[in-house]
Amino acid sequence: MGSHSHSDRRRFLTRGGALVSFVMGAVRSVRGQTPAPEGIAKDNLAYGQPSKFDNTIRRTLGQATAISDTALTTPLQDLDGIITPSGLHFLMDHVKGVPDIDPKQHRLLIHGMVDHPLVYTMEEIKRLPSMSRIYFLECNANNRPIRGPNGESVQNVHGRMSTSEWTGVLLSVLLNECGVQKEASWIVAEGSDANKYTMSIPMAKAMDDILVAYAQNGEPVRPQQGYPLRLVVPGWEAIRSVKWLSRIKVVDQPYMAWHESGNNADTIPNGKGLWYRFEVGPNSVITRPSGGQRLAGRGFYEITGLAWTGAGAVTKVEVSVDGGRSYKPAELQQPVHRFAHVRFRFPWTWNGEEVVLQSRCTDERGEVQPTVAEAAKNLGVSPDYFYQADHFNGVQPWKVNRDGSISNALFL
Amino acid sequence: MRFSFSLFAVVITLAICVPGRAQGRTYQLGSTPSEEEIKARDIAISPDGKELPPGSGTAKEGATIFAQKCAACHGPNGNGGGLTRGIVPLGNAKPVKIGFSLVPYATTVWDFISRAMPQSKPGSLTVNEVYAATAYVLYRNDIIKETDVLDAKTLPQVRMPNRDNFLPAEPGWKPGQKRPFGYYP
Per-residue pLDDT reduced to its tens digit, A317-352: 999 999 999 999 999 999 999 999 999 999 999 999
Q: What distance in Å separates the CA atoms of residue A230 and residue A90, rounded to the nearest whole number?
A: 15
Contact B175 A202 (CB under 8 A): yes
Q: Please tell me if residue A257 touches chain B, with a CB cutoff of 8 Å.
A: yes
* Torsional class of B92: left (φ above 0), alpha (ψ -120 to 50), beta (otherwise): left
Which of A388 and A259 is assigned the larger pLDDT? A259
From A100-109, A206-215, A224-233, B90-99, the region with the lowest mean pLDDT:
B90-99
3-state secondary structure A335-358: CCCCCCCEEEEEEEEECCCCEEEE
Q: Please tell me if residue B120 touches chain A, with a CB cutoff of 8 Å.
A: no
Chain A: residue nearest B37 by CA? A109
Chain A residues with beta carbon closer than 8 angstroms to that of B178:
311, 365-367
- Helix, strand or coil, per DSSP, at residue A156: helix
- Helix, strand or coil, per DSSP, at residue A3: helix
Which of B21 and A329 is assigned the larger pLDDT? A329
Which of A194 and B10 is assigned the larger pLDDT? A194
**Model confidence pLDDT, tens digit, residues A158-207:** 999 999 999 999 999 999 999 999 999 999 999 999 889 999 999 999 99
What pLDDT is stored for residue A362 in this prediction?
97
Q: Cβ–Cβ contacts within 10 Å for residue B179, how many?
A: 16
User: ∠ CA A390-A384-A309 to the nearest 5 degrees?
Assistant: 35
Which of A66 and A311 is assigned the larger pLDDT? A311
**Model confidence pLDDT, tens digit, residues A352-361:** 999 999 999 9
Contact B108 A96 (CB under 8 A): no
Q: Does residue A83 have a pLDDT over 70? A: yes
Which of B31, B82, B175 is facing A279, going by the closest CB pair?
B175
Q: Please tell me if residue A277 touches chain B, with a CB cutoff of 8 Å.
A: yes
Mean pLDDT of B63-77: 86
Q: Please tell me if residue A119 touches chain B, with a CB cutoff of 8 Å.
A: yes
What pLDDT is stored for residue B12 in this prediction?
47
Mean pLDDT of A113-130: 97
Mean pLDDT of B170-178: 59
Chain A: residue nearest B22 by CA? A118
Q: What distance in Å separates the CA atoms of residue A39 and residue B9, rounded to the nearest whole number?
A: 68
Q: What distance in Å separates the CA atoms of residue A288 and residue A208, rounded to the nearest whole number?
A: 35
Which of A128, A272, A392 is facing B90, going by the closest CB pair?
A272
Mutate to test the interface with B, among A144, A175, A196 (most CBs of B within 10 A): A196
Classify each residue of A198-237 as buried b or exposed e, where b means 16 or more C-beta atoms within 10 Å of its C-beta.
Answer: bbbbbbebbeebbbbbbbbbeebbbebbbbbbbbbbbbbb
Confidence of residue A147 (pLDDT cuts 50, 70, 90): low
From A54-63, A243-252, A328-337, the region with the lowest mean pLDDT:
A54-63
Q: What is the ipTM of this complex?
A: 0.83
What pLDDT is stored for residue A379 in this prediction?
79
What pLDDT is stored for residue A213 in this prediction?
98
Q: Does residue A277 have a pLDDT over 80? A: no
What pLDDT is stored for residue A140 in this prediction?
87
Chain A: residue nearest B185 by CA? A392
Which of A251, A278, A365 is facing B169, going by the closest CB pair?
A278
Which of B26, B92, B178 is facing A367, going by the closest CB pair?
B178
Distance from CA of A263 to the nearest CA of B (A): 5
Q: How is B68-136 classified by DSSP, letter by letter?
A: IIIHHHH-TTS-SSSS---PPPSTT--SS--GGGG--BHHHHHHHHHHH-STTSTT-S-HHHHHHHHHH
From A116-120, A395-399, A402-406, B159-163, the region with the lowest mean pLDDT:
B159-163
Q: Does residue B11 have a pLDDT over 50? A: no
Q: What distance in Å separates the CA atoms of residue B65 and residue B3, rounded to the nearest whole number?
A: 61
**Model confidence pLDDT, tens digit, residues A214-234:** 999 999 999 999 999 999 999
Mutate to test the interface with B, among A261, A371, A386, A391 (most CBs of B within 10 A): A261
**Short-list A357, A404, A370, A388, CA closest to A147:** A388
**Model confidence pLDDT, tens digit, residues A66-80:** 555 678 999 999 999
Confidence of residue A8 (pLDDT cuts 50, 70, 90): very low
Indicate the DSSP class of residue A270: T
Q: What distance in Å separates the CA atoms of residue A211 and residue A191, rounded to the nearest whole number?
A: 15
Q: Does residue B83 have a pLDDT over 90? A: no
Confidence of residue A385 (pLDDT cuts 50, 70, 90): confident
Contact B166 A272 (CB under 8 A): yes
Amino acid, res. A16: G
**Short-list B149, B133, B151, CA closest to B141:** B133
What pLDDT is stored for residue B10 in this prediction?
46
Contact A270 B91 (CB under 8 A): yes
Contact B90 A198 (CB under 8 A): no
The residues near A350 (Cβ < 8 Å, ≥ 6 apart) are A295, A298, A299, A300, A301, A400
How many residues would you count in chain A? 412
Residues A360 and A282 sit within 8 Å (Cβ to Cβ): no
Chain B residues with beta carbon closer than 8 angstroms to that of A276:
169-170
Q: What distance in Å separates the CA atoms of residue B53 and residue B50, rounded to the nearest whole number?
A: 9
Tell me what percent of the residues of chain A surpass a pLDDT of 90.
67
**Short-list A3, A41, A2, A4, CA closest to A24:** A4
What pLDDT is stored for residue B22 in this prediction?
56
Distance from CA of B2 to the nearest CA of A (A): 36
Q: Please tell me if residue B90 touches chain A, with a CB cutoff of 8 Å.
A: yes
Q: What distance in Å separates the CA atoms of residue A290 and residue A399, rounded to the nearest whole number?
A: 8
Contact A378 B180 (CB under 8 A): yes
**Short-list A64, A65, A67, A62, CA closest to A263:** A67
Q: Could you tell me the CA-to-CA distances from A59 to A90, A162, A204 in Å, in that order?
A: 8, 12, 35
**Strand pairing report for A107-112 and A245-251:** parallel
Contact B111 A179 (CB under 8 A): no
Mean pLDDT of A238-245: 96
Confidence of residue A24 (pLDDT cuts 50, 70, 90): very low
From A5-14, A20-29, A337-346, the region with the lowest mean pLDDT:
A20-29
What pLDDT is stored for residue A284 in this prediction?
98
Which of B33, B109, B184 is facing A393, going by the closest CB pair?
B184
Mutate to test the interface with B, among A124, A247, A256 (most CBs of B within 10 A): A256
Q: Which helix (H) or strand (E) holds A361?
A: strand A355-363
Q: What distance in Å separates the CA atoms of residue B135 and residue B150, rounded to the nearest whole number?
A: 7
Q: Could you tell me the CA-to-CA distances from B177 to A235, A311, B24, B87, B180 in Å, in that order?
A: 13, 8, 34, 34, 10
Which of A393 and A22 is assigned the larger pLDDT? A393
